Amino acid sequence: MERRKELEEGGRRVLEAARTELYIEMRFMGPALSALSCEMDLSTRTIGTDAVSIRFNPSHVLRLFVEEPGRLNRTYVHMLLHCIFRHMYTSERYPDKRLYDLCADIVAESVLDEMDYRCIYRVSSDFRDRWYDKLTKELKVLTVEKLYRYFSENEGDLTETEYEKLEREFKLDDHSFWLRMQEEPGDRDDDKREKKDPPVDRDMDTPQSNDPGKQNDEKDADSGGNGNVNSDPGDGKKKEKYINPRRLEKIRNQEKNWDKEAKRLETEIETIGKEASDRLGKLSWMLKIQNTRKTDYRKFLGRFKVLREEGGIDMDTFDYGMYAFGLDTYGNMPLIEENEFREIKKVQELVIAIDTSASCKDELVQRFLNETADMLLTGESFFQKIKLVIIECDDRVQKMINITAAEEMEKYAGGITIEGGYGTDFRPVFEKVEELRTQRFFENLKGLVYFTDGYGTYPEKPTDYDTAFVFAKDADYEDEKVPDWALKLYV
């Protein structure tokens, strides 16, 4: 027991020393560095986090502190990035856990490799650089979602040897704690039984287990091998998964705390000055992507709705009492007929502008139009009679289409041909809209939606109707220069 306490205390002191060194150089990370406590955990051969504490094997962290202190610092920040990007909270949404872990590690390491701090610096290998070049060429921005989709679609091109080499290259921590976040001692009655402390007077890099297959499944310690989280140390059988509701609530609160920390960090970076922010590489950009919420396009269109009468039975104004009285008194003669019109709020007039410049990809435009056409056909957001003007524009207005019915929108979206392909200037669209308003083409225009990648010249004068610049969240875009009076929508 005394030996165990000494090892635990030694491991904590090493991690506190690493945290102090990181804080001196990276003060903007102060609250995040202080957010995680440190606990010894012999179920891992290396080190990992469950977003509450850093769980470490003392032998591993002591060895790193002596032999590779820079790697220990890097591992600390690597785990913090997992928490800031909330990787452990989205892990269960993906069926291939091994692939998800690899994608999460690539994202964290790609951010670290562009940060200019000596305390976390490492020489990038040729293998790593080749993969960065390949992935950024294909995906532009490296996020877990895009990487997972890319590797899944190109699964046949990646051999098992290459897969393992990628894992060894990018993995620094143990992700098995992510799968155990929903369980904790005391959640089940059988977890309350007394357990003996594992012996600690032998090689601490090898966790003790009565499961004969467990040690064979574990990877080399330097690759951050995961423990077998489904095995019971007592008999090797899998436990039936039980999720304590209170534990789930605690996890949700933890995720909210890290969400707040990510937003705080984004704000902090914006205020530290250009020279300091340049040392952060693409961390600011990744935080902006991570903190951006996807928006339901249908819900967003609600701000452009107006109240009008539309054909259809309005059951809310139907008087069943008088209707039944007429039938009872006069036979087959109801006194009140159902109302054949109803008042409802939907979109009646809207301008959709499409960026047809060379930088805006045709497939993204097609997806956006297909979504709009689908809403028109379902009739949930638009009236039967509409004024929907679609303007295609690059540095000038190339085409204008007037849509008055859902069928016309379906026809247009099904056979779209983009004209243009030059530079981008958003101003001609707004000038055209003002021209149509002067001609009284619109009666009560509520909004303009401009689908673009954001690279272009924006108008300076604000509009008296809502204007939204729409960006595809999973694509390359520039939203820094969007005017303050305009909305930014990420779909």
- The string of DSSP codes covering 387-436 is EEEEEEESSSEEEEEEE-SHHHHHHHHHT------S--BSHHHHHHHHHH
* Gap between the Cα atoms of 88 and 255, Å rounded: 9
- Answer whether residue 196 shows pLDDT above 60: no
Query: How do strand 53-56 and strand 306-311 relate by DSSP bridges?
Result: unpaired
* Beta-ladder partners of 393: 355, 397
Which of 45-54, 151-160, 375-384 reaches the highest mean pLDDT? 45-54
pLDDT for position 191: 42
Residue 468 sits at φ, ψ, to 5 deg, of -130, 130
Ordered by start, the domain boundaries in the chain are 2-291, 297-313+345-490
pLDDT for position 229: 35
- Answer whether residue 64 shows pLDDT above 60: yes
With residue 350 as reference, give the H or E element that holds it: strand 341-355
Question: Which fold, 297-313+345-490?
Answer: Rossmann fold (3.40.50)
Say if residues 142 and 110 touch (Cβ distance below 8 Å): yes
Which of 23-27, 214-218, 486-490 reaches the highest mean pLDDT? 23-27
Residues 6+ apart with CB under 8 A from 246: none
- In the block, tokens 């090493």 appear at 14
* Gap between the Cα atoms of 385 and 404, Å rounded: 6
More confident: 207 or 364: 364
pLDDT for position 42: 92
Residue 383 sits at φ, ψ, to 5 deg, of -70, 165
pLDDT band at 245 (very low <50, low <70, confident <90, very high): confident
More confident: 51 or 225: 51
* Gap between the Cα atoms of 460 and 354, Å rounded: 19
Which of 168-172, 212-216, 477-481 reaches the highest mean pLDDT? 168-172
- Answer whether residue 205 shows pLDDT above 50: no
Least-confidence region, from 42-51, 75-84, 109-118, 324-333: 324-333
Q: Nearest to residue 352, comparing CAs of 337, 369, 340?
A: 369
Least-confidence region, from 47-61, 148-162, 223-237: 223-237
pLDDT for position 288: 79
Residue 424: both structure tokens together: 């981008």
More confident: 384 or 356: 356
**Type of residue at 337:** E
With residue 90 as reference, give the H or E element that holds it: helix 87-90
Q: At what angle do helices 160-170 and 126-139 cross, to 10 degrees?
A: 100
Say if residues 184 and 135 touch (Cβ distance below 8 Å): no
Please tell me what DSSP assigns to residue 208: -
- In the block, tokens 């903007």 appear at 28
Residues 402-424: pLDDT tens digits? Answer: 888 767 777 776 666 655 556 78
pLDDT for position 231: 35
* Gap between the Cα atoms of 387 and 349, Å rounded: 5
How many of the other CB atoms lie within 10 Å of CB of 226? 24
Q: What is the mean pLDDT of the chain?
A: 78
* Gap between the Cα atoms of 297 and 490, Å rounded: 9
Q: What mean pLDDT comes out for the span 138-158?
A: 87
HSE-up of residue 367 (Cα within 13 Å, Cβ side)? 15
pLDDT for position 447: 87
With residue 147 as reference, give the H or E element that holds it: helix 144-153
Say if residues 68 and 17 touch (Cβ distance below 8 Å): no
